[in-house]
Amino acid sequence: MKSYLPTKFIIERDREQCISCQVCINQCTCQAHYFDSQDNEVYARPEKCVSCHRCVVFCPTGALRVRRNTSEYRDNYNWRPEIVDDITKQAESGGVLLTGMGNDKPYKIYWDHLLLNASQVTNPSIDPLREPMELATYLGQKPDSVQVGPDNTLAKNLPPQLKLDVPVMFSAMSYGAVSLNVQHSLARAAAESGTYWNTGEGGLHHSLYDYAESTIVQVASGRFGVFADYLNAGAAVEIKIGQGAKPGIGGHLPGEKVSADVSLTRMIPEGTDAISPAPHHDIYSIEDLAQLIWALKEATNYTRPISVKIAAVHNASAIASGMVRAGADIVVIDGLRGSTGAAPKVIRDSVGIPIELALASVDSRLRQEGIRNRASLVIAGGIRNSSDVAKAIALGADAVYIGTAALVALGCHVCQQCHTGKCSWGICTTDPGYTRRINPEIGARRLNNLLRGWSLEIKDMLGGLGVNALESLRGNRLHLRGVSLTDSELEILGVRMAGR
């Protein structure tokens, strides 16, 4: 069938600068460049281009530029190009539209409407260059009270805790969705920066057991790779109920991505589909969730905090309350912007609620009910920079997960083609030819650099506020003011309007 889809991008090649070295041809995973021997020239097939910028970055002479295709549809606010293209795609394939990364639609980003405070005259700011700033964060259940024994030590042991030197962890990204080299980069960086990475639901590759102390192992509805050694390998176990990019639906890792090595960690035969059912079939209620939480506590002999991750949905705060009462030590909420290796586009773009509102309402609810101490609160989904982190902590989060930001640090240019398995940056693919593009040592260095930069910035913001510990910002919404927000938005966020 002749495709009626327009070419999205055009590739401009400066003929004076191009030396026909064919680097673009080798780097492109979409065959958007080709060499014509007769002309002794490199040409483009722009209809194949996804604008990942791999060729642009690697062109040794800077001869390449990728631009949006300028042939415009007639203006129509209702029938926008994306909508026309989607219909065309479905008319030609008859399937569910897939996409990668997080929701890219112009829903309000509340971080951009929240502003932090700083000290002026009436209280001194603190210079983090000269004074110690404490970012250490402990995730896990905190007791209602502590008793100190005669020798000034705790009379009763605390429940198991995770210690983070920086309040930023790497989100769950399974082996199969991302490459092993990506997981090695994340694991190494987590170990070196004093934080945690998350296996996702695809099991733990044997070569990553060295990083076990910095690993959160995930148990999802497919139970892939879940067995006693795996559960006890990690520093914590996370039950994945839902994901911000696709709340309420399961996942299919297609058989062609289940290579020999992926089959080893998922513990399923090579080449078979890895199907994650939409619900956990042993969890149809809060009581059932409690049963799995306590089964995992039992299976790890009460030595690991148990985390439960849900997508931010309409009644997230009531669900979170149930999760805490079910025994979750860490509650993770993944918002509307949460990313994915593959999800139906219609789900990614239309289901869930913004993480800022979910976070504020969950934190408020747990406080009102007097159970906020019984679980730590971690959020995920669209955290872009250190000020997003600081604002999240002021709204009540204990820590955040970053996924896309970490992948961007590794080279991702957010071209949203994760679901195709042809990631030119070697991140979201299991093709051995492409996965070599990530060097775990360099990858870890890039991630460590990012976390270091964010830590320094968070310390600067804390110093400006006149506090010297992240704990003083946590849940302290007086440090925030809102701009361009309605009264309802301000009320849910628990934040005053700027100027008040």
Partner 1 sequence: MVKQAVMRGVKRIELFNVHGQRYIGTDILEPVEITIEGTPGNDLGAFMNGQRLLVYGNAQDGSGNTMNGGEIIIHGHAGDITGLAVRGGQILVRDDVGYRAGIHMKEYKEKKPVFIVGGTAQDFAGEYMAGGVMVLLGLNLEPGSKHNSRYIGTGMHGGIIYIRGDFEDYQLGKEVGVAELDEADIKQLSGLVNIYTGHFGGDATSILNGKFKKLYPRSLRPYGRLYAY
* Least spacing, CB of residue 291 vs partner 1, in Å: 6
97 versus 310: smaller Cβ distance to partner 1: 97
Question: Shortest gap between Cβ of 321 and partner 1 (angstroms)?
Answer: 23
Residues numbered 24 to 63 that lie near partner 1 (CB under 8 A) are: none
- Taking CB under 8 A as the rule, does residue 267 contact partner 1? yes
Is residue 222 within the footprint of partner 1 (CB under 8 A)? yes
268 binds partner 1 (CB under 8 A): yes
Tokens of 388: 């997003």
Stretch that binds partner 1, among 17-25, 115-123, 268-276, 491-499 (CB under 8 A): 268-276
Q: Output 17 or 93, the one with its CB closest to partner 1.
A: 93
Nearer to partner 1, 90 or 350 (CB): 90
Taking CB under 8 A as the criterion, the residue among 181, 195, 300, 340 binding partner 1 is: 300
Paired tokens of 147: 């008793």
Q: How far is the CB of 257 from partner 1 (least distance, A)?
A: 12
Residue in 435, 252, 466 with CA at minimum distance from that of residue 342: 252
Q: Is residue 299 a contact residue for partner 1 (CB under 8 A)?
A: yes
Residue with tokens 């030197």: 165
Distances (CA, A) of 239 to 55, 242, 245, 314, 332: 39, 9, 17, 20, 10
Query: Could you give the CA distance from residue 110 to residue 482 in angstroms, rounded to a whole number?
Result: 9
If the CB atoms of residues 266 and 474 are measured against partner 1, the closer one turns out to be 266
| 400, β-bridge pairs | 168, 379
DSSP-derived 3-state class of residue 12: strand
> Residue ranges of the alpha helices (H) in 236-315?
260-266, 286-299
CB closer to partner 1 out of 308 and 447: 308
Q: Does 291 bind partner 1 (CB under 8 A)?
A: yes
Site string for partner 1, 403-442 (x = CB under 8 A): ----------------xx----------------------
Q: Tell me the three-class secondary structure of 315-361, residue by residue.
A: CHHHHHHHHHHCCCCEEEEECCCCCCCCEEHHHHHHCCCCHHHHHHH
Phi, psi angles (nearest 5°) of residue 163:
-105, 125
Residue among 67, 105, 156, 281 that touches partner 1 (CB under 8 A): 281
Closer residue to partner 1 (CB): 279 or 466: 279
Q: Which of 70, 228, 260, 433 binds partner 1 (CB under 8 A)?
A: 228
Residues 6+ apart with CB under 8 A from 253: 174, 176, 177, 202, 262, 266, 273, 274, 275, 276
Specify whether the backbone of 101 is left (phi greater than 0), alpha (psi in -120 to 50) or beta: left
Identify the residue among 67, 156, 252, 452 touching partner 1 (CB under 8 A). 252
Provide the 10 A C-beta neighbour count for residue 300: 20
Nearest to 379 by CA among 364, 370, 389, 368: 389
Scanning 60-68, 148-156, 275-283, 448-456 for contacts with partner 1 by CB under 8 A, the matching segment is 275-283
Contacts with partner 1, 81-100, as mask; x by CB under 8 A? --------xx-xxxxxxx--
Q: Does residue 304 bind partner 1 (CB under 8 A)?
A: no
Strand partners, 192: none
Residue 1 DSSP label? -
Rounded Cα–Cα distance for residues 407 and 417 (Å): 13
Give the one residue of 1, 301, 433, 499 binding partner 1; rule: CB under 8 A: 301
- Number of residues lying near partner 1 (CB under 8 A): 37
Contacts of 445 (CB under 8 A, 6+ apart): none
The type of residue at 122 is: T
Which residue lies nearer to partner 1 by CB, 285 or 315? 285
- Distance from chain centroid for Cα 108: 19
CB of 54 to partner 1, least distance (A): 19
Which of 10-18, 46-54, 251-259, 437-445 is the region at the interface with partner 1 (rule: CB under 8 A)? 251-259
User: Strand, coil or helix: what is 482?
Assistant: strand
Q: From the CB of 6, what's the least distance to partner 1, in Å?
A: 16
368 near partner 1, rule: CB under 8 A = no
Name the site residues for partner 1 (rule: CB under 8 A): 89-90, 92-98, 222-223, 226-228, 231, 252, 254-255, 263, 267-269, 272-273, 275, 277, 281-282, 291, 294-295, 298-301, 419-420
